[in-house]
Amino acid sequence: MAKHVKDPIILSIAHNLNGVPWCEEYEKMVSGMMYDPLHPKLLQGRHRARCLAYDFNNRDPRTEQYVEKQSDAIEKMLGKVGPGTFIEPPFRPDYGCNIIIGKNFFANFNLTILDTSLVIIGDRVQMGPNVALYTAGHSTSVLSRIKFVEYGLPIRIEDDCWIGGGVSVMPGVTIGRGSTIGAGSVVTRDIPPYSVAIGSPTKVIKTLKTVEEERQDPNNPYRDLPDRM
């Protein structure tokens, strides 16, 4: 459901992002209110993202310093990006500026992010191919489509999550720290930290040990490996 007032927390975060097409309709959009997607500033914002994504997706991998140039392109395209982030092309953002990524993020081929509202991704999150994050929402009202209004709700994926190939995450969802989402799942509700969830819609089938518990377990096969992230 769309909200009826602006979200001051969301707006305070957005004020610090790169490339934001700031206007009244943008404020309503990221706050989860009904907004006009055809406002000129928003059209410009989406066009900017298309141009930057085109350059990113079509760079010849034999180009000298390819990885460095791709990293620079990601920083220009997105709102905020931590070090060590790598995204395999093709990558398809909607605005790009509403995406916040922590350090050491990896996404495999064909990541799609409809960042009508904010998409906040933590540290060391990994994603398989063909993952889709959808903040964009529409009312079931037919009149809303005739009036051409829509809304968006933020998505949050906390630290150390693994999102399997072909997963779709719906508007307003939070995936808790350390969780695994099985391939092909459709996430329609919040997932608690340290969970394994699968299915369409997803259901939690298992609870995992925390990082602290794993480090204290002498039988854990990963405990004595060097930390790299």
Per DSSP, the three-state class of 73 is helix
* Low-confidence stretches of the chain (pLDDT beneath 50): none
pTM, rounded to two decimals: 0.94
Domain range spanning residue 60?
8-216
Residue type, 221: P
Q: 187 lies in a domain?
A: yes
Percentages helix, strand, coil for the chain, rounded to the nearest 5? 25, 25, 50
Q: What is the pLDDT of residues 116-135, one digit of tens each?
A: 999 999 999 999 999 999 99
CA 164 to the chain's CA centroid: 14
Number of domains forming the structure of the chain: 1
What does the block give as tokens for 53? 């994504």
Q: 127 lies in a domain?
A: yes
Does residue 152 contact residue 132 with C-beta atoms inside 8 Å?
Answer: no
pLDDT (0 to 100) of residue 229: 61
Q: 206 lies in a domain?
A: yes
Residue type, 132: A
pLDDT (0 to 100) of residue 54: 98
pLDDT (0 to 100) of residue 222: 87
Q: What's the CATH code of the domain at 88?
A: 2.160.10.10
pLDDT (0 to 100) of residue 223: 87
What residues are annotated to the active site?
138
pLDDT (0 to 100) of residue 122: 98
Region class of 180: left (phi > 0), else alpha (psi between -120 and 50), else beta? beta
- Cα–Cα distance for residue pair 70/198, rounded to 1 Å: 32
Sequence-ordered list of residues with C-beta below 8 angstroms from that of 71, at least 6 positions apart, any chain = 85, 86
Q: 186 lies in a domain?
A: yes
Q: 54 lies in a domain?
A: yes
